[in-house]
Structure 1
């Protein structure tokens, strides 16, 4: 067309511009279609969560504030995550006096963490009852119950926010003095002093900029700040090296003072201070007592110690066996 003079060459830029302008709405329409498809998929996932049956129903009662811990009791508790599935806990009976420490010991899958989940009332047992200070957990509002309990788990979830904001999650209305005291008691003071921005330092998504020991001490600082009468330690030192564990364990020892504490342990060296050890196997309590008595019994607890054969845990188990 250009050679035949039916189309002026000077019009080429204009044609290219008009073609681009004409294609732009088509491109935007295609992008909108992709976004719509993503939104539909997301909506379906949200809907699936929305229609999921609620595993627990809120109770009407508020727990009164207590000092020095609360009494916990499991009475003939049987539980399975799926009513048609296998039983995870069977006929569990134990009592933790106010301010006492109890340790749950056993191989993986024995039901230790399930007991913690039931105390926090993520689920209700199919049989039996769980009480705190004589009140069935099903009678208590979830907010009131969970304000009464502090959890230090093996995996500490941190949000992409500052250190201060992550610690304040435990008690958003805490004063700066309360926050500073929790940081000091969790052995975080020296670490914060080494940071140019201090408490205003961003931790990154899930705390990727921090070490395992630092994340764990933030979890302990949360527990100090919350100041709850019941404390659950779920494998709180399982992923730490020896140096980090020494700092964390010292903070945990202080945290357990004057609190009812449930210690879930794989490293048996963490349970020496427990008032009672519950040894679990296949969802049942098979032995109970203090470390020395259980070792003398020569049962499953002693077998757990004897079978430990690798890593630092071997040294810890050997030290325990000699006590």
Structure 2
């Protein structure tokens, strides 16, 4: 008859709420399931991704001198028609230092990635100690190379474990020496838990310079015969940079080294400098030889001096 007892209204309200809660939970589970399925698809997509770089036959090479040869090397990233590197020909003699210089996008880091066999060249060949990189086992090849990159990946673990990534079976003495040589000692002493300090995901609790020192410590600990420094001091202040430069000079001793840097002052003592532009080698020589020319290297030096406030400084005296 359109009437409702006063006592039934709260009862019906409670019943309605009780009926709605399971429905809302089902909807929430549906959203969680959709998120889970999305993540699962990404995992399967990664698992099903074709492996482009595979182990070689495992050519044995006991020679740790690590001389490198590039022969007619050209490379472009998958899905791109533009070549990042074009017809490169050069050699790096064992124990020497080669610097790669050029504008952003010239192909410097791509060249270093080819040496690590993150990619294979589209054309030409790269040899280490006279053996083509494709013939090495990946583990063997990469055990011979230490990389100090501009962006260092750190795990959400202790500082100790992050350094030991380079050599898990290292002794405490080896670890202490690597920490000392990389100018990381002061940083560790300032931390309440020292080497046991948790650095956070991607090293979130450390500054950019501190993360880079961890990368340098890894290189010291690995003690590989071939060293790649990709903007290894770009995040350091002037005082730290001077300290780390001294450490890196020790690290480069009797090692084949490739230096990639925008700060030209860091590569002036290299045995040979290669200037890249749009993937091509446009100049090569020592620092002094290249300054005598009117090419790209001299332009880069002049531009950097002007940007540093040395407008009246002679480029030839740099």
Q: Same fold (TM over 0.5)?
A: yes
- Counterpart for residue 224 of structure 2: 228
Measured in 1, the distance between the counterparts of 2:77 and 2:6 equals 79
Q: 2:22 aligns with which of 20, 25, 29?
A: 25
- Specify whether residues 272 and 5 from structure 1 end up closer, same or farther in structure 2 by C-alpha distance, changes over 3 A only: closer
Q: 1:261 aligns with which of 257, 264, 275?
A: 257
**Any residues of structure 2 matched to 1:175-186 within 5 Å, and which?**
175-186=171-182
**1:55 and 2:46 correspond:** no
- Counterpart for residue 193 of structure 2: 197
Task: Identify the range of structure 1 (150-159 vs 204-213) with the bigger mean alpha-carbon deviation.
Answer: 204-213
- Specify whether residues 320 and 159 from structure 1 end up closer, same or farther in structure 2 by C-alpha distance, changes over 3 A only: farther
1:88, 1:282 within 8 Å by CA — same for their partners in 2?
yes
- Counterpart for residue 134 of structure 2: 138
- Counterpart for residue 304 of structure 2: 308
5+ residue gaps, structure 1: none
2:71, 2:125 within 8 Å by CA — same for their partners in 1?
yes
Q: 2:317 aligns with which of 308, 319, 322?
A: 322
2:59, 2:137 within 8 Å by CA — same for their partners in 1?
yes
- Counterpart for residue 7 of structure 2: 7
**1:37 and 2:34 correspond:** yes
**1:78 and 2:107 correspond:** no
- Specify whether residues 310 and 320 from structure 1 end up closer, same or farther in structure 2 by C-alpha distance, changes over 3 A only: closer
Q: Deviations over 1:259-316 (max 9, x none)?
A: 110001111111122110011111111111110011112222112212225554x659
- TM-score, normalising length: structure 2: 0.90
Measured in 2, the distance between the counterparts of 1:317 and 1:107 equals 23
Task: Work out the number of aligned pairs and report it.
Answer: 317
1:66, 1:229 within 8 Å by CA — same for their partners in 2?
no
Measured in 2, the distance between the counterparts of 1:91 and 1:52 equals 29
5+ residue gaps, structure 2: none
- Counterpart for residue 109 of structure 1: 105
**1:283 and 2:279 correspond:** yes
- Counterpart for residue 169 of structure 1: 165
Alignment RMSD: 2.6
- Counterpart for residue 292 of structure 2: 296
Shift in Å at residue 4 of structure 1? 7.0
2:101, 2:274 within 8 Å by CA — same for their partners in 1?
yes
